[in-house]
Structure 1
Amino acid sequence: MSLLTSILSACAGKQLTPITTATQVDLPKFMGDWYVIAAIPTAIETESYNAIESYKLDDDGTIATTFTFNKGSLNGQKKTYEPRGFVTKDSGNAQWGMQFIWPIKAEYLIAYLDENYTQTVIARNARDYVWIMARSPKISEDDYKKLTGFVSDLGYDMSKLRKVPHHN
């Protein structure tokens, strides 16, 4: 093996298979509040408490999103972000581009959605961030184990997963 081939192989790293998304998402049913139960967080949410992601389907087909949390503690300073979701055509509504800053759209994949629309996993092919969310701030331990197992099976580094505390 040549030196160039060795360097290129090392730089390429482990190839991850693309994440399979939910087959079909009923957008009106998906809208509303989702409590972040656990996440491999982005830089803005590493100290989040009471994290809630709210979605509203706008007339133009985009998703008005409001992400709120308390920073640093259950009663910490309230932070609010308002990205916009853009549903990818022909994705069964399960792939979005989430835009915090124009013109950049971050990949947003609905990798898991239960049939009652009460629990979901939002993932990314890069396996850098993930969110386990539910319609209520608490889920059963069995459900938590099932969802974290799903995330682990996607190839995420589970040592980075953080449970998000919520008021009772």
Structure 2
Amino acid sequence: MKAARYSAVVLSAILAFTAAGCASAPSTKNIPAVASIDFGLFEGPWYEIARIPIPIAGDWVGTTDTYIRRADGDWNVLYEGWKGGFDGKKGSLGQRLRAVDPVIQGEMEAKPFPFVWMPYRIVYWNAEDETMLITSGTMNYLWVMARAPLLDSAVYDRLTAEADRLGFDIALLETVPQRPAGGL
């Protein structure tokens, strides 16, 4: 019973924050999602390099998204990190991801809770340096992701320049502390 009540409170908070964000922030609808993604490269762990802060898991460090392909073609996404610092408690959140448009592979939806599907849009993909930019339905959400936990400053600058070009307020981005590869 306690777990169900906690889940209901968390779900209510997410829906309230999402509704508030949707009401106050411009839509990302005019930003094209990536048409083609190498799903072999997409699968597996990605490090969260920077993000526009959100209330849920906002103080987590060393965060990763691990994408696991399901038999039905959807994805399970496991978000993990340490609460408050690397010496904090490890936390995790799970969600389901599905394609919305088979022609535009970066146009997806995430399901963090039952009956709740939210836009999940890959708006930049670079297979060479294994980086991507992910957003949701509004400009309040942006995640800079990479296969490596630490990026060369030139690569990071290129990613933030791309985010700026797409219309995101890059002054809102906060970098996420990460350990070097193998330091987990």
Do these two structures clear the TM 0.5 threshold for a shared fold by scoring above it? yes
Deviates more, 1:57-66 or 1:107-116: 107-116
Task: Read off the aligned partner of 2:79 and give its amino acid letter.
Answer: F
Q: Kindly indicate whether the alpha-carbon contact (under 8 Å) linking 2:25 and 2:138 is maintained by their aligned counterparts in 1.
A: no
The equivalences for 1:5-44 within 5 A come to: 18-44=30-56
Identity %: 24
TM-aligned CA distance change 1:110 to 1:71, over 3 Å = same
Secondary structure in structure 2 of the residue aligned to 1:82: strand
Q: Which has the higher helix share?
A: 2
Whichever of the two has the greater Rg, that structure is 1
| Alpha-carbon separation, structure 1, partners of 2:36 and 2:62 | 29
Pair 1:118–1:14, CA change in 2 (3 A): closer
Mapped to 1, the partners of 2:28 and 2:43 lie a distance apart of 30
8 Å contact from structure 1 (residues 62, 86) kept in 2:
yes
Q: How does 1:1-168 map to 2 (within 5 A)?
A: 18-116=30-128, 118-168=130-180
Unaligned runs of 5+ in 2: 1-22
Structure 1 length-normalised TM: 0.86
Maintained 8 Å contact 1:19/1:124: no
Query: How many residues of Structure 1 are paired with residues of Structure 2 in the alignment?
Result: 158
Runs of 4 or more off by more than 6 Å in structure 1? Answer: 11-16
Q: CA deviation at 1:126?
A: 1.1
In the TM superposition, what whole-angstrom CA distance separates every residue of 1:92-136 from its partner, at most 9, and x where no partner exists? 321111110111112111111113361111023410111001001
**Structure 1 residue 12 displacement after superposition:** 9.2
Distance 1:91 1:105, change over 3 A: farther
Q: Match of 2:56, SS?
A: helix
SS at match of 1:20: coil
Q: Secondary structure at the match of 1:22?
A: coil
**Contact 1:121-1:132 within 8 A present in 2 as well:** yes
- TM-score w.r.t. the length of structure 2 is 0.79
Q: Which runs of 5+ in 1 are unaligned?
A: 1-10
Amino acid at match of 1:39: R
TM-aligned CA distance change 1:98 to 1:16, over 3 Å: closer
Instruction: Name the Cα RMSD after superposition.
Output: 2.1
